[in-house]
Amino acid sequence: MTGSGKETLDAIMRAMELEKETFDFYTNAEQRTFDPAGKRIFRWLAKAEEAHYLKLTELYNSLDQGGRWVFYGGSTIALEPEGEGMQVGFDTNDLEAMEIAMDIERKGIAYFDELAKKTSDPDGKGMLETLRDEETEHLRIIAEKYKQMAKG
């Protein structure tokens, strides 16, 4: 990454803060929604954001202690399958929660994309691009569920 090591550490710390805030939002959204499908998606998103936070923590410590990037091959957290006969009937609050979730994911995509562009280390660039791609997948899934909810 261009600039000093402190700038890199500050950027990684900010990414960790964003992941923590996003985890908190998804955890609260899961608790607030009554719809099983919504709970399932918010629970999956919270687990994914927690995994990102832990990986970024590992990266921060590695860079701080030895200046080395860590390998990140992507998340292995699977979305739980929907239960048979599950009724989808979200109310307006659930739609609003999904809109906020989409906005959060868009911001995460932009942040990781910007960090990746500033990173000259191939391992670092690969890690940040993988994180960005996972946030893009989160956005796709949320948008798909949002469309289903809006029709419902």
CATH of the domain at 138: 1.20.1260.10
Domain assignment present for residue 80? The answer is no
Give the residue from 89, 108, 15 showing the smallest Cα distance to 58: 15
Q: Which residues of 81-91 are buried (b: 16+ CB within 10 A; e: fewer)?
A: eeeeeeeeebe
Give the residue from 99, 133, 82 showing the smallest Cα distance to 29: 99
pTM of the full predicted structure?
A: 0.72
Domain assignment present for residue 82? The answer is no
Domain assignment present for residue 71? The answer is no
Q: What pLDDT digit, counting tens, does each position of 18-51 carry?
A: 999 999 999 988 888 877 777 888 999 999 999 9
pLDDT in the model for residue 76:
56
Assigned token pair, 134: 């996972």
Domain assignment present for residue 79? The answer is no
Domain assignment present for residue 74? The answer is no
Q: What pLDDT digit, counting tens, does each position of 123-139 carry?
A: 888 889 999 999 999 99
Domain assignment present for residue 110? The answer is yes
Backbone angles phi, psi at 101, to 5 degrees: -60, -40
Q: How many CA atoms lie within 13 A of 12 on its CB side?
A: 26
Range of the domain at 104: 5-65+87-151
Domain assignment present for residue 127? The answer is yes
Nearest-angstrom CA–CA distance, 8 and 4: 7
State how far Cα 132 lies from the chain centre: 8
Q: How many domains does the chain have?
A: 1
Domain assignment present for residue 144? The answer is yes
Q: How many CA atoms lie within 13 A of 143 on its CB side?
A: 11
Nearest-angstrom CA–CA distance, 103 and 148: 18
